Each structure stands twice: as C-alpha cells, then as structure tokens.
C-alpha cells in the first residue's frame, strides 16, 4: 500500500489541483507515516509555492520521530519565501543533523541579504548561545559539525548586518 500510494501521489498533475485538493493534501501530509509520500507532497507544495504549507512542513521537520529523515523536507523550503521563517532556519542549523543543516544553511545564505537587521541580530544571539553550549559539550568540532555550521552562519550574518549608528560611532572613536 505504501508504495502504491506514493506512485499515485507522484502522478498528480499539480496544475489541476484546486485549493480544496491542496487543503486535503496538507491534512494527509500531516498524518502520513510514509516518508516518500510526505516528501513528495512537500515537493508538490514547493512547486506550487503553496505558502500555507510552510509552517506545517517546519512542524514536520521538527518532529522528533523524523529527526534523521527530514533533509528533503528542509530542501523543499528552498522554493518558498522564507523571510518570515528565517529564525526557524537558524534553529534547524543549530539542532538538526548534517543534511538538514546544509539545506537550511543554503536557504539562509540566499535570504540573509534581504532579512532586516533586527532579525539577523536575533539570529546571531541564538547562534552565539548555541555555540557556547556546543563548545562545552560537543566532541565533534571539525568541518561539517554543528559547531562549524553555527560559526559559518554567524560569519555570514555578521558580514551582512549593518552596524547601528551607536556601534558605528563607537568603532570610529576607537580608531
């Protein structure tokens, strides 16, 4: 049944889906236990830019039972406007396995230039808190470790965050 259902969903003509169909797919997305089916539905949502699905996809990404099988779900987010969910992407970088971290970093990289400074500053605070925690407990500090991704994300955001007038003034005084 699982593979047959996946085959049926894979054959869906996305152009013919109505809003009611998308709502039904969204409900099915939330309850299906089949990873292939869930991923295929997420890709349909991504292809159609069905923005209503984004919080549901993020919810699935963060489900404990899917922790090591959510890279495709994170990948699907790359087709959406993720500015509103930027902090969620930062949290994925901080807490998930390699593949979802990599996908989230790519999306953050794409959207970071258009994110307001206040959101970038909030993201930097989250990243710094996670960095401190990981430096105390993490054994893996090499390339592609969570710590490495956090440091790279911090560097990216810091390079794009314009200094506030107060910070700029302090920097000028020190020079």
Domain enclosing residue 11, as ranges: 1-80
pTM reported for the whole predicted model: 0.86
61/116 same-domain check: no
Do 57 and 123 lie in one domain? The reply is: no
50 and 7: one domain? yes
| Per-residue pLDDT band at 163 (split at 50, 70, 90) | low
Sign of the torsion formed by the C-alpha atoms of 74, 77, 78 and 83: negative
Is residue 51 within 8 Å of residue 77, measured between CB atoms? no
Last residue of a domain, one of 52, 80, 108: 80
pLDDT tens-digit series, residues 90-124 = 999 999 999 999 999 999 999 999 999 999 999 99
Residue 168 pLDDT grade (very low, low, confident, very high; cuts 50, 70, 90):
very low
Give the count of beta carbons closer than 10 Å to the beta carbon of residue 2.
12
Q: How many domains does the chain have?
A: 2
pLDDT digits (tens, 9 = 90+) for 25-39: 999 999 999 999 999
Does 68 lie in the same domain as 127? no
CB contact at 8 A, 40 and 9? yes
Percent composition of the chain: helix, strand, coil (DSSP 3-state, to 5): 80, 0, 20
């Amino acid at each position: 049944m699982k593979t047959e259902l996946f085959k049926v969903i894979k054959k869906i003509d996305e152009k013919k889906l109505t809003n009611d169909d998308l709502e039904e797919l969204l409900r099915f997305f939330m309850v299906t236990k089949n990873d292939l089916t869930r991923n295929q539905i997420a890709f349909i949502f991504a292809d159609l830019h069905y923005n209503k699905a984004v919080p549901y996809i993020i919810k699935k990404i963060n489900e404990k039972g899917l922790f090591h099988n959510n890279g495709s779900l994170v990948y699907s987010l790359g087709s959406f406007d993720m500015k509103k969910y930027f902090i969620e992407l930062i949290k994925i970088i901080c807490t998930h396995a390699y593949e979802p971290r990599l996908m989230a970093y790519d999306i953050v990289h794409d959207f970071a230039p258009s994110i307001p400074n206040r959101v970038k500053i909030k993201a930097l605070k989250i990243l710094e808190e996670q960095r401190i925690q990981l430096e105390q407990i993490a054994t893996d500090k090499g390339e592609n470790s969570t710590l490495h991704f956090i440091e790279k994300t911090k560097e990216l955001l810091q390079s794009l965050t314009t200094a506030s007038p107060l910070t700029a003034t302090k920097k000028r005084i020190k020079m």
